Amino acid sequence: MTDPTPLRLPVKLHQRLLAHLRSTWPQEGCGLIACDANGAVEIFPGTNTEASETRYNMDLAEVVAAFNEIDRHDWRLGAIYHSHPQTPAWPSTTDLSFAFYPDTLMVIVSFAVDPPDLRAFRVDEGIIEVPVVVESE
């Protein structure tokens, strides 16, 4: 088996993603990451309509707006991200039951540790961790 291709995340996007998820604590936060051939190019912070510490559901209007922007730029949906306020950065049973985009990474940020632990996973046929490379601009 070959090593999975890393998720390349520019430091500015990494900082925005963490800031968004910190602002939703102690509830789970969520959003989308748009990618091109070189890695992440934009994040779309979402509103968790579940308002829960253990579940998330991104506001449908925000999802549609994000997909429109992704299409407009010829990007692709690279990842769906969310936080785990009190648990490790590993896909939960609930996370796996709602993994409807098999070609899209699942990015989880755990705030159970400091600094927060950001990890990415491919969950199409089992759980495969994908390296995340935070790149300076």
pLDDT 10s digits, 13-50: 999 999 999 999 999 999 999 999 999 999 999 999 99
pLDDT 10s digits, 81-103: 999 999 999 999 999 998 988 88
- Global pTM value: 0.95
Contacts of 7 (CB under 8 A, 6+ apart): 33, 35, 39, 40, 78, 79, 105, 107, 120, 130, 131, 132, 133
pLDDT 10s digits, 57-75: 999 999 999 999 999 999 9
